[in-house]
Amino acid sequence: MKPLIGITGDIDERDGKRYLYIDTRYGSLIEEYGGIPLLLHPAESVKEVISKIDGLLLSGGEDIHPKYYGEEPKYPMELSPDIRTEFEIALVKEAMVKGLPILGICHGMQLLNVALGGMLYQDLKRQNFVAKEHQLGDGRHQVFITRGTQFFKIMGRTAINVTSTHHQAVKNIAKGLRVCVRTTDSVIEGFEMPEYPFLIGVQWHPEKEPDEDSRRLFQGFIDQSLGIRTP
């Protein structure tokens, strides 16, 4: 039996309608490494949705409204609709009750941090980081993995090159999470939950230019999801 991996998508509100969409490269990687990708519609029945899947992938997207971490927007930003944020927070909480493997990518990592009580930098550039290399266009940079972490075990080395496109990042990390990846300008690029089988957030986009490191990460995630699959 292949594990079913639920993926959250972007929601675009225009012409009085809501559209749910996703970069299909997430699903392609899931399929390539042994899972079945399933796009999750924002539904009320979060408990039922979680009971059907074996792993949860929180995909990239726009900025989370700062009200979810107790701030007002300080700078211009592209906001993710509340319906997505609230659906994702509910999914994370329910998935953790069931012990499902969770992988957060870019917005998905930030969402995990916020869902668990952490805070974000609203704009790296204005908060004294070398933001240029984190953004699309210049968005390829090196990150450093801490030895002894779950993430190091999966990746097997201390430095990798990643595709980066973000202007926000984790500021205060949520309780229970630990940093496992950073850049030289000290941006938190990855975290994990040591007391949990697989809860990992990465600030980069492994699906945009898939390489051997993307494979290791997705393979690790899918193998864990297979491990909890109920026959």
Catalytic residue among 31, 88, 106, 133: 106
Q: How far is the CB of 141 from Mn ion (least distance, A)?
A: 6
Does 88 qualify as catalytic in the annotation? no
Closest-by-Cβ residue to Mn ion is 164
User: CA 58 to CA 201: how far, in whole Å?
Assistant: 9
Does 180 qualify as catalytic in the annotation? no
CB atoms within 10 A of CB 230: 6
Q: Is the CB of 80 or the CB of 164 nearer to Mn ion? A: 164
User: CA 29 to CA 10: how far, in whole Å?
Assistant: 18
Rule CB under 5 A: which residues touch Mn ion? 134, 164
Two tokens, residue 200: 């990992």
Q: How far is the CB of 192 from Mn ion (least distance, A)?
A: 17
Does 205 qualify as catalytic in the annotation? yes
- The conformation of residue 205, written as its DSSP 8-state character, comes to -
Check: CB of residue 171 under 8 Å from CB of residue 119. yes
Q: Is the CB of 71 or the CB of 138 nearer to Mn ion? A: 138
Q: How far is the CB of 166 from Mn ion (least distance, A)?
A: 6
Q: Is the CB of 167 or the CB of 216 nearer to Mn ion? A: 167
Q: How far is the CB of 118 from Mn ion (least distance, A)?
A: 17
Q: Is the CB of 84 or the CB of 134 nearer to Mn ion? A: 134
Please measure the distance between the N-terminal and C-terminal CA atoms of the chain and give it in whole angstroms. Answer: 8
In this structure, the strands spanning 199-202 and 102-105 are: parallel
Residues known to be catalytic: 106, 205, 207
